[in-house]
Amino acid sequence: MKLSTNHLLGIKDLTPQDIRLILDTAQQFKEVLQRPVKKVPSLRDVTVVNLFFENSTRTRISFELAEKRLSADVLNFTSSASSVSKGETMLDTVNNILSMKVDMVVLRHSASGAPHFLAKHISAAIINAGDGINEHPTQALLDALSMEEALGGSLNGKKIAIIGDIMHSRVALSNIYLLTKLGAEVTVAGPPTLIPKYISEAFGVKVSYNIKETLQWCDIANVLRIQLERQNQPLFSSLREYNLAYGISRKLLESLGKKVVIMHPGPINRGVELDSDVADGHESIILQQVENGVAVRMAVLYLLANRES
Ligand code: NCD
């Protein structure tokens, strides 16, 4: 089976079959990663450049590790150490790199739509590693794999809450596309100022401003970071008050009388959206998410490279 697309620009463009293929392939790579020899030759002679125009820890390392486990040749680019600071455009930067015979581009950029723009102008396969407040498809895929593992099977009919700064989160949008395509029920929850007004009509999700009710309803809570760097003006009174009204504490979890799986894409603002004893608690699968990230990215790289051949 092959993907229906040459690039991974967003979950929006994937069919449910594409998503299934990526998750099943990732599961196979997860098995490979348990072996003493974790490296496979699948991407030998394929050159991948990781173009990061915006800060990243997990995603950049995860992609690099996935590429190396697949035996690809890997180049790393960070805009702060490049000619971008001398005024070079993104397209010029990329075309210069591609003229050195690079096959695949992993792009993170603060502008929404940057990978879609690039896809119109270059022939290499592009993987979106996060574009502004638009999408972060590999995060949603690794979230889905982690959710399936936590619930022991299909997400069809499962109740998933996405909690926090929905407005500025590319993880939220990619999760919403993916979860609804796989038939899950989705509720977004947080302060009214951090939830887009017509999200319910546009995406078929429920909206709640009450965290306790949302936790009582859901099987899994995917909790998101407050993206202060994307807020031009304050959208709530203070981090302390955010934590009191919308943060998840041990006391709150214990008052539910049921188990809720806790997820977070990282980086966590400890004591804001999640208290430390919840982030590190037995309900949390945050580090499994990071582990699954490598297998999911291996699957995406492998499937896109395979389409070309
Ligand atoms: C997310 C991102 O960069 O969009 N982090 C990540 O990739 N693990 C979420 C965030 O920054 O809050």
- Please identify, by atom number, the ligand 1 atom nearest to the C-alpha of residue 266: 8
- Please identify, by atom number, the ligand 1 atom nearest to the C-alpha of residue 58: 8
Domains and CATH numbers, the chain: 11-135+293-305 (3.40.50.1370), 137-289 (3.40.50.1370)
First to last CA, the chain: 13
Nearest 5°: the CA angle 230, 232, 238 is 90
pLDDT-derived band at 186, boundaries 50, 70, 90: very high
Q: How far is the CA of 222 from the centre of ligand 1 (A)?
A: 12
Q: How far is the CA of 230 from the centre of ligand 1 (A)?
A: 12
Cα separation of 288 and 299, whole Å? Answer: 17
Cα separation of 55 and 267, whole Å? Answer: 11
Q: How far is the CA of 292 from the centre of ligand 1 (A)?
A: 15
Indicate if the pLDDT at residue 220 is higher than 90: yes
**Between residues 279 and 97, which one has the greater pLDDT?**
279
**Whole-number Cα distances in Å, 100 to 104, 115, 159:** 12, 20, 47
Cα separation of 167 and 1, whole Å? Answer: 35
Check pocket membership of 265 for ligand 1, CB cut-off 6 A.
yes
Of residues 214, 220, 206, the one with CA closest to residue 152: 220
By most ligand atoms within 8 Å of CB, the mutation choice from 61, 64, 225, 227 for ligand 1 is 225
Over residues 203-230, mean pLDDT: 96
- Please identify, by atom number, the ligand 1 atom nearest to the C-alpha of residue 224: 12
Indicate if the pLDDT at residue 233 is higher than 90: no
Cα separation of 135 and 59, whole Å? Answer: 13
pLDDT-derived band at 236, boundaries 50, 70, 90: confident
Q: How far is the CA of 171 from the centre of ligand 1 (A)?
A: 7
Q: How far is the CA of 45 from the centre of ligand 1 (A)?
A: 30
Indicate if the pLDDT at residue 73 is higher than 80: yes
Q: β-strands 185-189, 159-163: how paired?
A: parallel
Over residues 227-242, mean pLDDT: 86
Cβ contact 185:239 at 8 Å: no
Look at residue 170 in the predicted model and tell me its pLDDT.
98
Nearest 5°: the CA angle 289, 21, 223 is 25
Of residues 33, 225, 222, 64, the one with CA closest to residue 143: 222
160-182 pLDDT, tens digit per residue, is 999 999 999 999 999 999 999 99
Check pocket membership of 225 for ligand 1, CB cut-off 6 A.
yes
Indicate if the pLDDT at residue 232 is higher than 80: no
By most ligand atoms within 8 Å of CB, the mutation choice from 136, 143, 287, 292 for ligand 1 is 136
Check pocket membership of 187 for ligand 1, CB cut-off 6 A.
no
Check pocket membership of 115 for ligand 1, CB cut-off 6 A.
no
DSSP three-state, residue 232 = coil
Cα separation of 269 and 275, whole Å? Answer: 9
Look at residue 182 in the predicted model and tell me its pLDDT.
98
Check pocket membership of 171 for ligand 1, CB cut-off 6 A.
yes
> What percentage of the chain reaches a pLDDT higher than 90?
86
Cα 222 to its chain centre, rounded Å, is 11
Cα separation of 131 and 9, whole Å? Answer: 9
Check pocket membership of 164 for ligand 1, CB cut-off 6 A.
no
Residue in the structure block whose two tokens are 């190396």: 68
Over residues 253-267, mean pLDDT: 97
98-144 pLDDT, tens digit per residue, is 888 899 999 999 999 999 999 999 989 999 999 999 999 999 999 99
DSSP three-state, residue 50 = strand
7-47 pLDDT, tens digit per residue, is 999 999 999 999 999 999 999 999 999 999 999 999 999 99
Look at residue 82 in the predicted model and tell me its pLDDT.
72
**Between residues 85 and 256, which one has the greater pLDDT?**
256
> For the chain, what is the mean pLDDT?
95
Check pocket membership of 130 for ligand 1, CB cut-off 6 A.
yes
Q: How far is the CA of 108 from the centre of ligand 1 (A)?
A: 11
Q: How far is the CA of 140 from the centre of ligand 1 (A)?
A: 11
Check pocket membership of 206 for ligand 1, CB cut-off 6 A.
no
**Between residues 217 and 78, which one has the greater pLDDT?**
217
Look at residue 308 in the predicted model and tell me its pLDDT.
53
Beta bridge partners of 77: 51
Check pocket membership of 284 for ligand 1, CB cut-off 6 A.
no
Indicate if the pLDDT at residue 228 is higher than 90: no
DSSP state of 42: T
Look at residue 109 in the predicted model and tell me its pLDDT.
96
Look at residue 52 in the predicted model and tell me its pLDDT.
95
Please list, in sequence order, all residues whose beta carbon lies within 8 angstroms of the beta carbon of residue 309, skipping any fewer than 6 positions away: none
Structure tokens, 60: 């950049």
DSSP string, 130-197: EETTTB-HHHHHHHHHHHHHHHTS--TT-EEEEES--TT-HHHHHHHHHHHHTT-EEEEES-GGGS-T
- Please identify, by atom number, the ligand 1 atom nearest to the C-alpha of residue 171: 4
Beta bridge partners of 47: 73
Which amino acid, one-letter code, is at 186? V
Backbone phi and psi for residue 107, each to the nearest 5 degrees, phi listed first: -120, 125
